[in-house]
Amino acid sequence: MYATQRATIKQVALEAGVSTQTVSRVLNSRPDVSPETPLRVQRVIERLAYQPSAVARSLIRKRTHTIGVVGAGLEYFGPSRTLAGIERQAADLGFSVLLTLLHEPETDDLRPVLSDMLSHQVEGIIWAAPEIADNRSWIDKVEQPAVPIVFLTMEPRSGSTVVSIDNREGGRLAAQHLLAHGRMHIALVTGPLTWWEARERQLGWEEALNGAGLTAKPRQIVEGNWSPESGALAFTRLQAQFPEMDAVFASNDQMAQGILHAAWKDNVRVPQDLAVVGFDDIPEASYSIPPLTTIRQETNELGRAAVRALGQLIATWHEARKTQTDPAIAAQSVKLEPRLVVRSSSL
């Protein structure tokens, strides 16, 4: 089977008895054509099955309708769900997505990644890689970027648009829930403390304890790495260094599941002897034994919100280019509120 030859704008113009410029005006709904012309041109377009070249139209309009996404950590639940939200919302708004994954997100010089994105003519960028150590220092080394950028899961910075989950509030909700149910010796298993999100969740936990007149001690805290294995190891360490522990807040659900498994192996009853709260509300959380109380973060909506924010910035950017003025883009900080989901592991 051979493909039929694709009709050209010149063929449409010839059969409609108009110029190619007039066909272009009709395609772009321009008002400067005679009233009867659009109908005649449209009939020829339908008969020839003509489809305008998206590439050509992008070059003419100086639009590519492509956004760049810089991501990392897709092996974790949160980042992968965020990327899914980005892709869905981008499609809804008519954008294609160009994805670059960072294999070493801790590096502090990511300007080459930015340059590569710009070489692909993206109209804007969502920086979805987590803030780890000093990997945002490159922002201060870049003057006015060539396109708008929206950052995710990052500490708010002056002049930058940031969309994030309120991780500190999530940590506070977890600890307050445990305190409200009479738990007074609450341990914490953090994520890697090079991650801004992990530090924020720890601060929320500490603030809740301080608000209840309790002082958080170093022996109540063990650092994990987001994996179930690290949660199980943390539980063993906490039993030795904090034996009065009657509750534990794990900074993600995978580590919480590691804790549940280790507690079961050691004949520690959950929740009778130990209440457990996680963070994320992964699909498996409601199928744990017992079902896991957790802090739900709407990571899919996080991705969607980032695309909506970027879409607004891009519109402002292009309007400024039309009027040949500097784009007056006001940086904003958007925080999505987490929600406590109560199940049997903490009651």
What pLDDT is attached to residue 316? 84
Q: Report the sign of the C-alpha dihedral through residues 71, 77, 82, 83, in that order.
A: positive
Q: What is the mean pLDDT of each run of 10 residues along the chain (347 residues)?
A: 60 89 78 83 85 54 82 84 94 92 80 83 91 83 79 87 96 98 98 96 98 96 97 98 98 98 98 98 95 96 96 83 61 90 97
The reply to whether CATH 3.40.50.2300 applies to domain 167-297+341-346 is yes
* CA–CA separation, 140 and 169 (whole Å): 28
Q: Which residues contact 103 (CB under 8 A, 6 or more apart)?
A: 72
What pLDDT is attached to residue 3? 36
Beta strands 247-250; 186-190: pairing state: parallel
* CA–CA separation, 254 and 304 (whole Å): 24
The class of domain 9-52 in CATH terms is: mainly alpha
Amino acid at 127: W
What pLDDT is attached to residue 55? 47
What pLDDT is attached to residue 2? 31
Same fold, 66-166+300-337 and 167-297+341-346: yes
What pLDDT is attached to residue 5? 59
Contact 44, 17 (CB under 8 A): no
Q: Report the sign of the C-alpha dihedral through residues 300, 304, 309, 313, in that order.
A: positive
* CA–CA separation, 317 and 64 (whole Å): 14
What pLDDT is attached to residue 85? 96
Q: Which residues contact 162 (CB under 8 A, 6 or more apart)?
A: 150, 151, 152, 154, 155, 156, 332, 333, 334
What pLDDT is attached to residue 52? 67
**Domain locations in the chain?**
9-52, 66-166+300-337, 167-297+341-346
Answer CATH for 66-166+300-337 from 2.40.110.10, 3.40.720.10, 3.40.50.2300, 3.10.105.10: 3.40.50.2300
